[in-house]
Structures are given as structure tokens and as C-alpha cells.
Structure 1
Amino acid sequence: MRQPLVVGNWKMNGRLGEAEELARAIAGAEVDWEHVSSGICPPFPLIDRVASAVQDSPVGWGAQNLHQEDSGAFTGEVAGPLLKDLGCTYVIVGHSERRDLFGESNELVAEKFFAAKRNGLIPILCVGETEAERDAGKAGEVVREQVQAVLGDGKEDVFRDAVIAYEPVWAIGTGRTATPEQAQEMHALIRGLIKEAYPITGQSLKILYGGSMKAASAPELMAQEDIDGGLIGGASLKADEFIGILRAAVASDL
């Protein structure tokens, strides 16, 4: 049985006071924490404040990105060893916004994935197709290539101690909605790819849904066999919404 995982991606939002207040509200929520894991990924300057706010609670924290090198002359970048020093558990790699807005290739995302792994961080690998790719019937092909870029030749079980998040980019801010059945279809495809190489890891791997999940839609999505939680964007900035998703995750685990 895979325990659900719900991770908040605050993106480029939040100020110091707001971040502490929101993090404390989540950490102090009445949630059956034995049946759900959770994390918060704030902007880099807020990581330490969030860590202090949720310390001694079941809520972990992480980052939204990292550089593929562990140090060097890379002005404005943040390296894995520093994130580890800050007590991060998770780091998001390959988010659709990083791929689209910042031109991150499958190869670069794979390098960041392995940078996270070698620094003892749990990478949350984001994969997903755009609206044009889905309409062209290439959704499965695109996601397969994104996963395969990390899986490589399959000689090493790279997805042990890792997480995958499926983002249907076409269903985020477009007015189109991914049904639970469509989400499940892609989650099953992803799990199948990993199971082909590593049956045990493929079965235990947590695959999160990252398509604008909200408290209202969470129960039906998490009822799907291969959806193990959510990577939450906008809804993670509202305590009641995020806590509602956590409670839906608990219900799916009972």
C-alpha cells in the first residue's frame, strides 16, 4: 500500500510573514498524519522560515529547483548541498514551467534529477504533455521520452527514493479539464514504464497528480488506482484548500 503524498508548490509567491502563517496553519491542522505524508516547496529565500514554522511537525519541506552541479560559478543558482544543509527533503525537477519558460530539456532535467539523488534529496520528477501534443495524439510518446531520459538503460534503479508528478499541461489554465479517468490512464502508463525495468520499485513508486488539484476534485482523483497524491500549485497557497486535499488523501488511504 502506497501512503499518499501531498506537496505544495508555492511557485514565486509569498512574503516572510505570509509564509510563516501559512506553514504554521498547515503543520497545525487536524489531519490524521499517520495516513498521509506532506511537504511544502516555497521560493528559495523562504525555505528557512518555512522550515522553522513546520519543525517538529509531520510536514517536511523542499525546493522548487536546483542546479545540476554541486558548486561553481553559476550566479543566481542554488546547489543540492545547500538545500540539504537547509534540511530539505524534496526538490522539484522538470516542472512544466521550467521546461517551457526556461527551456529545460529532458537531458538537463535528468542531470538535475541525479544531482538531487547524490545529495540525499528526494526528486519529484515532473512529466506531462502540452495541449498541442495531446491533440496530436503524442501524449504517451512525450511522457515516455521524459521518463526514459531519467531511466536511461535501466541498469540502475534510479526511481527508488524518488517521486514522479504527472502534469497535464493542457489542463492547467486552459479551460480544459483532465478527468480522473484521463489522469489515471497516464499514471498507469508511467507506472508501467517503471515496472518494466523494476517491478518492485514500479509498484511502490508514488506518482502524484499535478493538474490543478483542489479540495473538491481531490477525492475522485485520489480514488484512482495509480494516483498517490498531488503536487499542488495554487491551492497550496490557501490553508483550507491544502488541508482539504490532505484530508482527502487520508480518506483514500483508509
Structure 2
Amino acid sequence: MKKLIAGNWKMNGSLAANEALLGALAQGLAVKPACEVAVCVPAPYLAQVQALKSAKPALSAIDLGAQDVSAQASGAYTGEVSAAMLKELGCRYAIVGHSERRQYHGESDALVADKARAALASGITPIVCVGETLAEREAGHTEEVVKRQLAAVIHANGHCISEIVVAYEPVWAIGTGKTASPEEAQAVHTVLRAQLKAATDQSARVKILYGGSMNAANAATLLAQPDIDGGLIGGASLKAADFLTIIAAAQ
């Protein structure tokens, strides 16, 4: 299985900065990478990035992703963006259930599952985020938390669960500079792999990414773990040199 390196720009970027970043990535990807690559960008910039991808052949190696998607297909949901809209803009991926959405917007496991279902219905691959807080880890609840979060998505999308991507993102390691050790990350990925295996005989198709402060310095050791199939990259995805180093480590 090819590894997947997906950048999550979060609420960063500008028209000029995006063009400069993608220009640098295009130069670095003159030879098509052996892994899969995606950038998940703020909704206002999806059309710009799609246009830049069309204009620069080297960027064809990068798939487009959104950072969120509505659970609703259409209607009176001011500010929401539907899966059909994302599909029309060329999105292959949509992040659902990122810890920042769960924390700041109160998203429940059930809502995350519904968002995954909406994405799948429009032919978009949801990157389903799961992960524990520092308090939950210190209390010994890591396995319980991530299994509960993933179980909701499996329950709502059972027949097509093999079409998702899972991202394990320990909340205590996001944007803090802290990182789970390769062994700690692998242990949780093993749990998630077993849960997927119990849910579908196509579980080998499901990529499980690590998403807790993976960077240019630690990517190679994390990606060497047997059940880490790539990374969901935050801050490092905004620096072309760092993102390219991580892509190289995934090959």
C-alpha cells in the first residue's frame, strides 16, 4: 500500500502565500513521488488551488482536500459546505472529526460519522480523525477513546468502511511540539487496525495516518512503523522544504 502524506493547512494561507508554497512544491515534485500526497486547504482557497494544480503539471501529483464537510446535502445551513460542492471543486479528501472541530465546535462522534457518510456518498474519501486528550491518556483511557470514536463511524458506514482513511492524532501532541514516540503511535495504530479488521474483510485497504506533530525530523522513524501508513501534517505542511522532506521519507 502506498503511504499518504496529507497536509492540513488549518486556518492559514493567502492568495500570494498559497501560490508561493505550491510553486515550491511543484519544483520539488518534478519527479512524481512514490507515495500519495494531498493538501487540505481552507474552503475559500479550494478553487485557487484547483486552478494552480491545472496550471502546473507537477502539482497533478497532489490531491485536493477540504478541512471539513457538512453532514447535510443542501438547504438552510448558513456557512456550511456540502460534499457535492467539494466534489465539484475537485476535492478527493475531506477531513472529518479533527480534534479542533471536536473541541471548539462541540462535534460529537455521531456528527463525525454523519459527515463521513456524506463525504462517501459524494465520492469523497473522509480522513476520519481520532485521538485522546492528555488527561485521557494519563488516565489510561487511550484505547477506549479511539475505539469509541472509530466505532461510531464504522456503525454508520459499515458497508463502505474500507473506503475511509483514519488519522490517529493524539490531542496532546497537536501543535504542542510533543510527539508520541514511534512505539506509542504504533501501539494505538495496532488497536485501530484490529478494530478495522473486525469490521471489514477489506481492512487492508484502509490507510491509518499519524497526525500528532509529525515533522521533517521525526517523519522517517514514525513512518517506519508497520501500521503507520502516512501522516496528517499540520505546521510542517506550510513549509515547502519540510513537507517535501516528509514526502521523501514516505517513499
Which amino acid counterpart does residue 246 of structure 1 have in structure 2?
I
1:103-122 aligned at under 5 Å gives the runs 103-122=106-125
Determine if the alignment matches structure 1 residue 188 to structure 2 residue 190. Answer: yes
Does the CA contact (< 8 Å) of 2:131 and 2:168 recur in 1? Answer: yes
Report the Cα distance in structure 1 between the residues aligned to 2:216 and 2:175, rounded to whole angstroms: 17
Report the Cα distance in structure 1 between the residues aligned to 2:122 and 2:108, rounded to whole angstroms: 21
Q: Aligned with 1:181: secondary structure?
A: helix
TM-score when normalising by structure 1: 0.93
Report the Cα distance in structure 1 between the residues aligned to 2:176 and 2:240, rounded to whole angstroms: 25
Partner of 1:131: 134
Q: Aligned with 2:226: secondary structure?
A: coil
How far is 1:62 from its partner? 1.2
Report the Cα distance in structure 2 between the residues aligned to 1:167 and 1:124, rounded to whole angstroms: 11
- In structure 2, the CA distance between the partners of 1:242 and 1:84, relative to structure 1 (3 Å rule), is same
Does the CA contact (< 8 Å) of 1:31 and 1:247 recur in 2? Answer: no
Partner of 1:167: 169
Report the Cα distance in structure 2 between the residues aligned to 1:116 and 1:24, rounded to whole angstroms: 29
Determine if the alignment matches structure 1 residue 239 to structure 2 residue 240. Answer: yes
1:1-254 aligned at under 5 Å gives the runs 2-30=1-29, 33-55=32-54, 56=57, 57-152=60-155, 156-174=158-176, 176-199=178-201, 201-250=202-251
For residues 57-87 of structure 1, the C-alpha deviation after alignment (integer angstroms, 9 at most, x for no partner) is 2111110001101111111111111100001
Report the Cα distance in structure 2 between the residues aligned to 1:31 and 1:227, rounded to whole angstroms: 26
For residues 90-128 of structure 1, the C-alpha deviation after alignment (integer angstroms, 9 at most, x for no partner) is 000000000001100000000000000001101000000
Report the Cα distance in structure 2 between the residues aligned to 1:229 and 1:174, rounded to whole angstroms: 20
Report the Cα distance in structure 2 between the residues aligned to 1:4 and 1:174, rounded to whole angstroms: 25
> How big is the alpha-carbon RMSD for the aligned residues of Structure 1 and Structure 2?
1.5
| Greater than 6 Å deviation, 4+ residue runs | none
Q: Aligned with 2:197: secondary structure?
A: helix
Q: Aligned with 2:167: secondary structure?
A: strand
How far is 1:186 from its partner? 0.5
Does the CA contact (< 8 Å) of 2:175 and 2:235 recur in 1? Answer: no
Which amino acid counterpart does residue 5 of structure 2 have in structure 1?
V
How far is 1:139 from its partner? 0.4
Report the Cα distance in structure 2 between the residues aligned to 1:25 and 1:213, rounded to whole angstroms: 20
Report the Cα distance in structure 2 between the residues aligned to 1:34 and 1:240, rounded to whole angstroms: 15
How far is 1:170 from its partner? 1.4
For residues 124-182 of structure 1, the C-alpha deviation after alignment (integer angstroms, 9 at most, x for no partner) is 0000000010011000000000010011188x333222100000111224464310000
Unaligned runs of 5+ in 2: none
Does the CA contact (< 8 Å) of 1:31 and 1:246 recur in 2? Answer: no
How far is 1:24 from its partner? 2.5
Does the CA contact (< 8 Å) of 1:8 and 1:236 recur in 2? Answer: yes
Q: Aligned with 1:69: secondary structure?
A: coil
Does the CA contact (< 8 Å) of 1:125 and 1:165 recur in 2? Answer: yes
Unaligned runs of 5+ in 1: none
Which stretch of the first structure deviates more once superposed, 92-101 or 24-33? 24-33
Q: Aligned with 2:129: secondary structure?
A: strand
How far is 1:52 from its partner? 1.5
How far is 1:23 from its partner? 1.7
